[in-house]
Structures are given as structure tokens and as C-alpha cells.
Structure 1
Amino acid sequence: MQRSIATVSLSGTLAEKLAAVQAAGFDGVEIFENDLVYFDGSPADVRRMAADLGLDIVLFQPFRDFEGVSAAQLARNLDRIKRKFDVMHALGTDRILVCSSVAADTIADDGLLVDQLGVLAEAARQAGVVAAYEALAWGRVVKRYGHAWKLVNAVNSPHLGLALDSFHTLSLDDSPDGIADIPGDRIAFVQIADAPKLVMDVLEWSRHYRSFPGQGDFDLARFTARVIESGYTGPLSLEIFNDGFRAAPTALTAADGHRSLLYLEDLTRARLAQEGRAPAASQPLFAPPAPPAHVGFQFIEFAVDAQAAATVGEWLGRMRFRLAGRHRSKDVTLFQHGAASIVLNAERDSFADAFFQQHGLSLCASAFRVDDANVAFERAAGFGYAPFSGRVGPNERVLPSVKAPDGSLEYFVDEAPDTPTLYESDFVLTDIDGPTEVGPLTGIDHVCLALPADALDTWILFFKTAFGFEAERSWLVPDPYGLMRSRAVRSADGSVRIALNASVDRHTAVAESLDRYHGTGLNHVAFRTDDIVKTVAAFAADGVPFLRIPANYYDDLAARYALPDELIDTLSAHHLLYDRDEHGGEFLHAYTELVDNRFSLEIVERRGGYDGYGAANAAVRLAAQAQRRK
């Protein structure tokens, strides 16, 4: 199906928007009236610009407050829209979006509305165009698509069709199922927008908080599946009003938009298949390889120089990691503890070296264990993520990889039976430090990244599209110097969890991380253990400095959860944080001091099926870290 986006969804000039739309892979575009009004050229110039880029102008919008008016006002409205028809002819488009009236004096009389929309349809017929009538969620009289369809159907003209917008339907909790019963050829246009679930005025919600598919909370696949069932074969077009998008780089936003439509098509195709249905041949939907059924952390990789490698290596040694191997052809070392693997890359004139020059000691890559690395790579590349190829020595493994939104790498690794493992093929393995002895870490529990405020939704979309991860609910975390927004993504079975933190405030921990890294950076890595008290005690004895938690926290903890004094004493003695969920699951965790003033290492123990991240303790942890920074 044709993929389109409204120019209002992007920042920049009209010329910049059109170029970004084409570069992102769209083949259609909606021209928003203000973009045309502010353009220093004629509508015919816009038509030529779009044609040169291979873009169809699929809609001109919006036209407001046509119907439900007095006879005198109708005459004025008719003159006004005929002028817009002339603009449409110059633009080379045959569709105009007509929004249901929001005027306070709109006349609530369906008979009158049908008559006046009939006048609109006749004017459109004479002009050789189609008016797409849309029910705004805040319309004065018409606010649901079912009502709009009743009026359009009564007019019964091929020059008046129904416009559907997922936001206007789903923001009102209006079931989209009735869309399937509308003849597809009577649906003149379909606009798509996601949004977070918010309790607020629907107009403000629409004007500021729309997002691309996959970035919000709406069940868009259900909506789009019903559109496909109707037989509609026209464009699917993004119309996103979002304050962040209006300030974000045009090309990056357009690329995210195109990926989000591909993602929605994939979800829609899967939804139809689940329901025993399939799109017609005239309704082709994007069909990438399925996301990996099983995903796990293979290793995380730090960009280092000699000094940073020594610093991190010392920390890892105190946490009972063993130096497990050295790379066969590169200045790369492998540390392991239980199932947790850490790679330190100090290779000169490499990707990691360039990453270190830009960001300093930082997380430059993550490797994910999947069933089939090539298939996982093909899925990510199909969504437009840039592939990466580095130098590979003789008999070393080629790891398919793509670049994440911050330019770091995401590797895909699979292991075939009866063949050397990645570590056996690429490293000279050694046991010079001996095996892990005390308080074993069982693996990496999660990774937490600090992001620029306008990058959070991009990262959510990245993990959903490339990996098929699920996004958890977002929450606000109080920092001593502002607020942080946090949202996590995870694999279906929770084997991989990645927490994403962002903040618009200039002095929060996230903001300071962004300054240190000159961009996105690692906030902390969390390692799992089955006995956190024993593990933390052993690590502390070996010189690992843990973040000190105020005594007042433990007094409050005892009051909140009625914990035994003995447990409170144990938590306090080891500076352990504690959380409990509504099902009785428990989460015990401790943070180290910052490594090189950049990131911390967290030890966690999950009990009784606890599935969160200890969000209730984020404020005290951030306050303790802020105090240490003073």
C-alpha cells in the first residue's frame, strides 16, 4: 500500500520536509495548508518539487467548519472551498480533508448536515476532486466515524468519502470494528497516529502528544486490520502533531515515521493471520522476517584506551570476573563471570577507537544471542537500520550487525552445534584468574541507558522493530534536580531488558551523563545473583565501593513494609535497596559508586517472580549519587 506522511509531522521548511520524506522511503505526502502558505513559491512549484522527488501529493488539508451553518455562511464556505479546489489542481492532488465542524454555533441537525455535505459533494464533482469528511474527536456535533459515515452514506456521492483517523477513533475508546463494514471504495483517506494513554482534554492530547505507531499505547493493528477488511486500497498516511517532532532533525523523524508504518503493516498482517484473514493482493503489507523467538545477552562491549581498560579491568576483577581470553587479532579482552561476558575493546583505528575518541569510556556495542543471526539481521536491515562491517581476521566469526540510534553497534550471534563457539573462534581462551568462587553472578539482568529527551521514542521504536521487543509502561522518576522519564523494553521472556532514561532538565543525573558522554551513554549495568547478601559482602571485602544509602531510608522501609528488624539490619549493613510488588515478589539491589565517574554497576536479586526494576528506590538512589557528586 502507498505510504504517506503529512508535512505537519516534520520540522523544517517545506523543501526540507519533502526531501526528508523521499529519503525515508515514502512515496506519498500530505500537504498541510500552513506549509504551503509559508512557502515562497507557487503550488505548481510544490507540485514540481514533489514530482522530481518521486512523491505523489495524496491530500491537501485541512478545510474546517464547512457544514452545520446558516445559508449565508454556507455560500461563503462554498466560495472558500472552491478556491481551495483551484489550489489542489495546481498541486496536482484530487483529495482534500474536510474536518467536522467545531464551531460553537454548529447546527445539530443531521438533515441539514446531509444537505450541506451534498452541496460540498456537488462542488467537488464539478471540480473533479474528492472531499474526505473526517469526524474530529472534539467535533461540535460529529465526533465519531460512525456518525460521519452515516452522513457520507446518505449523500451517496463518489465525490464525498469518509476520512478515518486512528487518533480520533481510539482516543474516544470508539471500537474500530465497524470500519470493516464500510465499503472500501467509500473510504477516501486513512490517517494513522499513535499516542500514549493520557487523561486530558482530547484536543490538547491530539495537538501535542501524538506519536508514530509503536511509540504509544493504542491498538493500531486492530484499527488498521479493520481498514484492510473494508477493502480500502488507498494510502496509509501518518499525521502526527508532536512538539518534540517539530524540533527534531527532519530526516531522522521522517526515517522513524517510515519504519513505524512498516512496523504497523507487519503487526496488521500478523493480526489478520491470527484472525484467519489475509489482505487482498491489492493490499500488500510489509512482511519482514519474524523477530527472534529467543534473545539473550551474549556480551556487552566497552570502548577503552589502555588507561580505561585498566580501570574497568580492576573493577571487574574485584567483582570476581575472570580474564577469560584475549582476541586473536585485536587488542580486545574478554572477562566473564557466570553467564555475564564483558568485552573491552582497545583496538586502534577501529570502530571502538573512533567511538572512544568521541565519547570516552563508553558502551560501544552489545551482542545478542539469537536463533539465527542472519535472519535477525535481515529483519533489522529491512526496517532501514544501517549495517556495519568491521575487520575480521582469519577463521574469525563474521557477526552481522546494525547501528543503533546513537551510532553504537548491535551484534547478532548464533551458535551452531558441533562448531567452535564465538569465544573459541575469536579468542585465545585462558583461565589465568581461575574460576569464579564466591557469590556467583548468574548473568546480565538489564542495561540502563541515558538518552537525550528527544531520543526516547526513537529507541523504543528501534527495539520494537529490529528485535520485536515489548515496551513497558513509562514512569516519571524524581531526581534532586528535576524529573526523568523512564521506560524499559524487554524480550518476550524477559531475558533481555533495557531501561531507557531521558530528561529535559539540565542538571539531572541523565543530563550530566549526556554531558560526559557527549551524547547517549550507559547509566548502569545490572548483574543477577541468587544471593545478594553473600555476593555484596564478598565484593565489598574485595574492595568494591558500594553506594551508601541514608539510614532514614531504612527507617521508612520498615514502616512501609513491616519488615523484620533482622532483615532491616541486613539491608542497612550492606546498603541494599528493597522493593516489593503487589504479588509479594521482592527485589533487592545495590549500586556501586560510579566507574570513572560515568556509570555504576548494579547487583540485583529477584524473588517470587518480581518483574520490575525497583523504580520506587530510584529517587533515593539518585539523591545518594547526587550527594556523592558534590
Structure 2
Amino acid sequence: MRRTIATVSLSGTLPEKLEAIAAARFDGIELFENDFINFKGTARDLRVMAADLGLTIDLYQPFRDFEGMPEAQFRRSLERAERKFDLIQELDAPVMLCCSNTSPLVIDDPALAAAQLHELAGRAAMRNLRVGFEALAWGRVTKLYGQAWEIVRRADHPHLGLILDSFHTLSLNDDPSGIADIPGEKIFYLQMADAPLLSMDVLQWARHHRSFPGQGQFDMTNFLEQVPLAGYTGPLSLEIFNDVFRETPNRRTAVDAMRSLLYLESQVRQRLQEPAQSNARFTDRRASVLQRVELYSPPPVPDIMGLSYIEFAADESSAEAFDVLLRQFGFRRAGTHRSKAVVLYRQGDINLIVNAQPDSFARRRFEAHGLSVCALAMRTADPASAVGRATAMHSQRYDGPLGPHEQRVPAIVSPGGMLISFVSSALGPNGLYEADFVLEDEPGRSAAGAGLKRIDHVALGLAVDQLDTWILFVRAVLGLEPGESLELADPFGLVRSRGVANADRSVRLVLNVSLSQRTRTARTVSAGGGVAVHHIALSTDDIFDAVARLTASGARFVPISGNYYDDLITRVDLDDDLLARLRSAGVLFDRSAAGDYFHIYTECLDGGLFFEVTQRVNAYDAYGAINAPARMAAQAQGA
């Protein structure tokens, strides 16, 4: 499908927008009226500029408050339309978008609306232009695509068709399945927009909170599937109104936009290849769609089997201090890299790598931030395919320097600059480390440790303009799915938190953002340049034993107020012995219908990084978010 985007979706001046759109390899644009009105140039100048960048101008929008009007206003609108047609011809744009009427003067008469749109289409036909009619979710009398289609059908003019917009349909909980019954040639244009599920006025929702497909909570795949089933083969476009996008660098926004369309196409392609489940009458039509419409087919989503290692960037001083802390945490110094100033630490199935190599990517990218996570490595059966998927979804491949006999680990650059590496599961637990490290044997330490078994989750702090980017990245590139979005109370502002995980929960990430610049999350992000790991959760099978061992070895935990435990017993039915053990150890507790969660946090290192020790009981699947305010308050009080 041709991929296009509305200029309103990006920040910057119109020439800057076009350059970003072209760089992201779009085919064309929807020209938003205000962008042209404020453009320092003529329609011909803009047409030439777009053509030089390899872009077509596929749609001019919007033309407002036209159909269903009293005669005097209707005649004035026809004059207004003629002036717009003059402009559209100069732009060489084939279609003008006419959105449903929001004027208080509109008359609720579908026959009148159809007759007036018929006359508008007749005038467009004289110039070889077309008019697309779109139902706005806040239209005065026409809100639903079915209503708009009925008006277009009654108007019965070849130069009048329907424009579909996923936001206007899904925000009203309208059923998109009827789209498949509309003749494809009468659908003139398709606009896609996702959004979070919010309880608010639909106009404000539309103007401020739309997002790219894969970033919100609408069923975009089901909506898009209906359109090619109808026989539509035209452009697939994005029209996004979003306050954060208006501030975000437009090159990054354009890449996110293209990634979202590629991801959405691939999801629809996969759906069409599956047996029809809900509507058998479309079985033959589903097969023909894949012959008529070119939908993106990237390498498959990687089968991620867990985190292989976490890599830290450190200078010599912070590496030495971190070595002390890791040994207090029961980690053993398991090996030294064969050619670099890199050390491997191990405990249970946990592998931590500390990179103090002066000329490494880690040091160059992260050295100014002190000790910080520079790479997450994920196990998968086919690392080359995982990187192929990522680059197909517009992520950057990373190829680092390779020493003699060292194992190549394919990697990509995540949004914000952290590396995501892919380690072959065929190497087993030691294959990578035997190749790259001189392994050390420390009898006794491996068996002792502190009872820490595996990495439970990694929590990232993100700049506000990175959250939607990361949600799309983990979905489209890594195949992780987002959970519920929560708001957590830091003493200095709210933190929005959202977990993402793979199906078997062997990889869990928690994404956190804060509008307030005073929260610990925001300060960590500021130090990390927009993206930073602020804590790592390590799991154990017996948290009380682990805490006792860690405390005995010198590890220091954030003390929790006694008031927390007094309140806990009012919220959760606990026996006295367990409550006493929690209070004595400083362990926090949460319970869901599926199971229990025990956790405790260490004091922060320089740069704000800290650890969490966790124990999940039964099928508990969350992250103890109810206890985050207790932790953040304790950290804020310098405890």
C-alpha cells in the first residue's frame, strides 16, 4: 500500500516536515490547511519541493461546514470550494477532504446533504478532482461512517466518495465490520490513528491524545482488515493530533510513524493469512486481498526466551565501587574479557557485565552519566532474524569491534541509544562467556551467593516524549505486549508506569515517565539523556533468607516507615507472624487474586541506579505498584 502521513502529525515548519517525512521513506502527504496557509511560498513552490523529495501531495484537508446548510450559506460555500479547487489544482492534489458539518446551522436532512455534496462533486469533476466525505466523531448530525456512507450513496456521484478514519469510528465504539460491505472504489482515502482509552470529551481526545498505531489501545488491526476486504487499494495514511508529538523532533516522529504503519500492515497480513474466525463469508475475499494489496511482510517477531545479560558502562572508579556492591550482593567475579576492560559477574542465572573499556560504545555514549546500563541482551533462537526484524522496522543495527576468536552478538540501537543485543540460545548458558571471557573459578562463592536466581524485570525511566516511541518499539520490534497504564505518587509529582512483557514473562520491562522534573524518575532520565535504567529487580525463592544474607554481607536497603505496616494489615489479611517478618526485614508486600509479591529496594548508587529483590508466589503478574509511593517517599527522605 502507498504510505502517507498528514503534515499536522509532525513538529516544525512545513519544509522541515517534508524533509522528515521523505527521510522516513513515505510516499506522500496529506496537506493540512494551516500548514499551507503559514507556508512562505506558493502552491507551485510546495508542489516542486515535495516532488524533489519524492513525495506526492495526495490529499488537501479539511474543507469544513459544507453539507446540509441553508441555501444562502450553501451558495457561499460553493464559492469557497471553487477557491480551494484552484489551490488544489496548483498543488496537483487529487482529493479534497470534506468533513461532516459541526455548524449550529446544519439541517438534519440526509437527502439535502446528499444533494449538496452531489453538486460539490460535480464542480470537482469539472477539474478532474475528487471529494472525500468524512464523518467526524463530533459532527452535529453525521458522526458515524455508516451515516456518511449513506449520504455518499444517495449522492451517487463518481467524484464523491468516503474517507474513513479509525479514530472517529473507534472512539465512539462503532463497529467497523460494516466497512467490508462498502464498495472499495467508493472509499477514496484511509486515515489511521490509535489512542489510549480515556474518559473525556471526544473533541479534546481527538485534538490532543491520538497516537500512532501500536501506541494506543484501539483494535487497529481489526479496523484496517475491513478496508482491503471492501476492495480498497488506495493510500494508507496517518492523521495524528498529539501535544507531545508537536514538541518532539520530527525526524524521530516520522520514523515512529513509518514503523507504526509497517507493524500494522504486518499484523493485518498475518490476520488475513489465518482462517476466518468471525465471518466465514469473507473467506474467499481474505485470500484475494493478499493478491491485490501489498502488505508489509517483515521477518517474524523474535521468540525471546529471557535476558542473557545486562551490561553496565562504568569508568574505573565506578567499576571498582560497583564491584564491592556486587560482591555484597553475592555475585562472584566470574571472568575477565579476553581483549577489553570488561568483567563478568554471575549469580544463579543472572549475568551482569561491567564495561570500563575507554574507547567502547558504552563509555562514549554513557560515560557522562556515571554507572549506567548500556545494553540489554536477550536470548533467542535466531539472532540474525531478530536483527532483520528490527532493521525492517526501522531500527538501527549496531556492529561493535570484534577481537580474535570472540563471539559476534548481533545488536540494535533502541530509542534513546541503549543497545539491545541478541544472544543465540544454541550457545547454552556458558557458550558466549567461554568464547569472550577468561572464566575464573571461585570455589564456594558460586554455591553461597545470596539466593538470587534470575532477573525479574528491568525498570526504565523515559523522557515524556519517549514513552509512545518505546511502546511501539517493544511491540513492533521485540514482540512484547503492554500491560495496564498506572499513575504512581512520587512526593514531587506523578509517575506514569506501564509494564511490557513477552508471553511467558521471561522478559519484563517497566516503562516510567514523569511530567514533573522533580521526581526521582525525571532526574534519572535527565542524567541518562532521555532514557535510563533506574532499577533492576532480581528474584529469589526465599526473600527473607536472601535479605538476611545480603544484610549480613553489608548490603543496605531503603528503610520503610513503620506506618506502612500498620496500614498494610488494614488492607490485606495477613497473619501476625508474616506481618512481623515483613516489618522486621523491611520487605514490602502486595496480593492479587493470582498470588503474592514480596519485594525490597536497595539504597541508590551514584547516578540513581538501585536494585530490587523480589519473590513472586503463584501467578502474581504485576510489579507491586501499590507500594511504589512508600519506596519513593523513603528515597526522597534520604533514608
* TM-score for the superposition, normalised by structure 1: 0.98
Please name the residue that 1:536 is paired with.
547
Moved more, 1-10 or 351-360: 351-360
Q: What is the distance in 2 between the residues matched to 1:516 and 1:256?
A: 24
1:113-146, CA deviations, whole angstroms, 9 ceiling, x for partnerless residues? Answer: 1111111111111121110000001111110001
Q: What is the distance in 1 between the residues matched to 2:291 and 2:66?
A: 37
User: What amino acid sits opposite 1:158 in the alignment?
Assistant: P
Please name the residue that 2:498 is paired with.
487
Q: Answer yes or no: is 1:297 the counterpart of 2:307.
A: yes
Moved more, 516-525 or 197-206: 516-525
User: What amino acid sits opposite 2:142 in the alignment?
Assistant: V
Tell me if the contact between 1:322 and 1:337 (Cα under 8 Å) persists in the aligned partners. Answer: yes
User: What amino acid sits opposite 2:185 in the alignment?
Assistant: D
> How far apart are 1:415 and its partner, in Å?
3.4
User: What amino acid sits opposite 1:152 in the alignment?
Assistant: V
1:159-201, CA deviations, whole angstroms, 9 ceiling, x for partnerless residues? Answer: 0000000000000111110111111111000000000001111
Q: What is the distance in 1 between the residues matched to 2:594 and 2:231?
A: 49
- Alpha-carbon spacing, 1:446–1:456, altered in 2? closer, same or farther (3 Å): same
Q: What is the distance in 2 between the residues matched to 1:186 and 1:478?
A: 51
Q: Answer yes or no: is 1:363 the counterpart of 2:373.
A: yes
Q: What is the distance in 1 between the residues matched to 2:528 and 2:410?
A: 26
Q: What is the distance in 2 between the residues matched to 1:113 and 1:387?
A: 53
> How far apart are 1:231 and its partner, in Å?
1.1
Q: Answer yes or no: is 1:258 the counterpart of 2:258.
A: yes
Q: Answer yes or no: is 1:281 the counterpart of 2:258.
A: no
| 1:316 corresponds to which of 309, 326, 339 | 326
SS of equivalent residue, structure 1 residue 473:
strand
Q: What is the distance in 2 between the residues matched to 1:356 and 1:401?
A: 17
1:248-291, CA deviations, whole angstroms, 9 ceiling, x for partnerless residues? Answer: 10111111101011011011111212244343333101111111
Please name the residue that 1:169 is paired with.
169
> How far apart are 1:149 and its partner, in Å?
0.5
SS of equivalent residue, structure 2 residue 61:
strand
1:427-484, CA deviations, whole angstroms, 9 ceiling, x for partnerless residues? Answer: 1111226313254212000000111111111111111111111011211111100111
Moved more, 356-365 or 584-593: 356-365
Matches within 5 A, 1:144-155: 144-155=144-155
SS of equivalent residue, structure 2 residue 19:
helix
Tell me if the contact between 2:32 and 2:60 (Cα under 8 Å) persists in the aligned partners. Answer: yes
User: What amino acid sits opposite 2:56 in the alignment?
Assistant: D
Tell me if the contact between 2:466 and 2:530 (Cα under 8 Å) persists in the aligned partners. Answer: no
Tell me if the contact between 2:381 and 2:426 (Cα under 8 Å) persists in the aligned partners. Answer: no
Q: What is the distance in 2 between the residues matched to 1:590 and 1:520?
A: 24
Q: What is the distance in 1 between the residues matched to 2:64 and 2:453?
A: 61
- Alpha-carbon spacing, 1:470–1:34, altered in 2? closer, same or farther (3 Å): same
User: What amino acid sits opposite 1:442 in the alignment?
Assistant: K
Please name the residue that 2:28 is paired with.
28
Please name the residue that 1:403 is paired with.
413
Matches within 5 A, 1:187-202: 187-202=187-202
SS of equivalent residue, structure 1 residue 247:
coil
* TM-score for the superposition, normalised by structure 2: 0.97
Q: What is the distance in 2 between the residues matched to 1:296 and 1:90?
A: 56
Q: Answer yes or no: is 1:141 the counterpart of 2:152.
A: no
**What value does the CA root-mean-square deviation take over the aligned residues?**
1.3
Tell me if the contact between 1:322 and 1:436 (Cα under 8 Å) persists in the aligned partners. Answer: no
Please name the residue that 1:38 is paired with.
38
Q: What is the distance in 1 between the residues matched to 2:428 and 2:199?
A: 56
> How far apart are 1:597 and its partner, in Å?
4.7
Q: What is the distance in 1 between the residues matched to 2:552 and 2:607?
A: 22
Matches within 5 A, 1:358-437: 358-416=368-426, 421-432=431-442, 434-437=445-448
Q: Answer yes or no: is 1:618 the counterpart of 2:628.
A: yes
Please name the residue that 2:347 is paired with.
337
User: What amino acid sits opposite 1:468 in the alignment?
Assistant: G
> How far apart are 1:419 and its partner, in Å?
11
| 1:547 corresponds to which of 553, 558, 578 | 558
Tell me if the contact between 2:196 and 2:210 (Cα under 8 Å) persists in the aligned partners. Answer: yes
Tell me if the contact between 2:164 and 2:190 (Cα under 8 Å) persists in the aligned partners. Answer: yes
Q: Answer yes or no: is 1:511 the counterpart of 2:522.
A: yes
Q: What is the distance in 1 between the residues matched to 2:323 and 2:427?
A: 32
User: What amino acid sits opposite 1:286 in the alignment?
Assistant: Y
| 1:558 corresponds to which of 551, 556, 569 | 569
SS of equivalent residue, structure 2 residue 582:
helix
1:512-569, CA deviations, whole angstroms, 9 ceiling, x for partnerless residues? Answer: 2123334321210000111001101110111000110000000000111131121111
Moved more, 612-621 or 347-356: 347-356
Tell me if the contact between 1:308 and 1:361 (Cα under 8 Å) persists in the aligned partners. Answer: yes
User: What amino acid sits opposite 1:429 in the alignment?
Assistant: L
Q: What is the distance in 2 between the residues matched to 1:54 and 1:359?
A: 41
User: What amino acid sits opposite 2:439 in the alignment?
Assistant: L
Please name the residue that 2:538 is paired with.
527
User: What amino acid sits opposite 1:523 in the alignment?
Assistant: H
Tell me if the contact between 1:326 and 1:427 (Cα under 8 Å) persists in the aligned partners. Answer: yes
Q: What is the distance in 1 between the residues matched to 2:304 and 2:530?
A: 30
Tell me if the contact between 1:311 and 1:596 (Cα under 8 Å) persists in the aligned partners. Answer: no
Matches within 5 A, 1:227-266: 227-266=227-266
Q: What is the distance in 2 between the residues matched to 1:475 and 1:501?
A: 9
> How far apart are 1:350 and its partner, in Å?
1.2
Q: What is the distance in 2 between the residues matched to 1:419 and 1:437?
A: 19
Which 4+ runs in 1 deviate beyond 4 A? Answer: 417-420
Would you say how many aligned residue pairs link Structure 1 and Structure 2? 628
SS of equivalent residue, structure 1 residue 527:
strand
Percent identity reads 49
- Alpha-carbon spacing, 1:236–1:46, altered in 2? closer, same or farther (3 Å): same
* Structure 2 spans left out of the alignment, 5+ residues: 277-285
> How far apart are 1:18 and its partner, in Å?
0.2
Q: What is the distance in 1 between the residues matched to 2:429 and 2:448?
A: 29
- Alpha-carbon spacing, 1:180–1:376, altered in 2? closer, same or farther (3 Å): same
Tell me if the contact between 1:415 and 1:421 (Cα under 8 Å) persists in the aligned partners. Answer: no
Q: What is the distance in 1 between the residues matched to 2:110 and 2:594?
A: 56
Tell me if the contact between 1:358 and 1:518 (Cα under 8 Å) persists in the aligned partners. Answer: no
| 1:307 corresponds to which of 296, 317, 342 | 317
Q: What is the distance in 1 between the residues matched to 2:217 and 2:529?
A: 31
Q: What is the distance in 1 between the residues matched to 2:310 and 2:581?
A: 32
SS of equivalent residue, structure 2 residue 318:
helix
> How far apart are 1:584 and its partner, in Å?
4.7
Q: Answer yes or no: is 1:349 the counterpart of 2:368.
A: no
SS of equivalent residue, structure 2 residue 227:
helix
SS of equivalent residue, structure 1 residue 347:
coil
Matches within 5 A, 1:572-611: 572-581=583-592, 583-611=593-621
Moved more, 223-232 or 561-570: 561-570
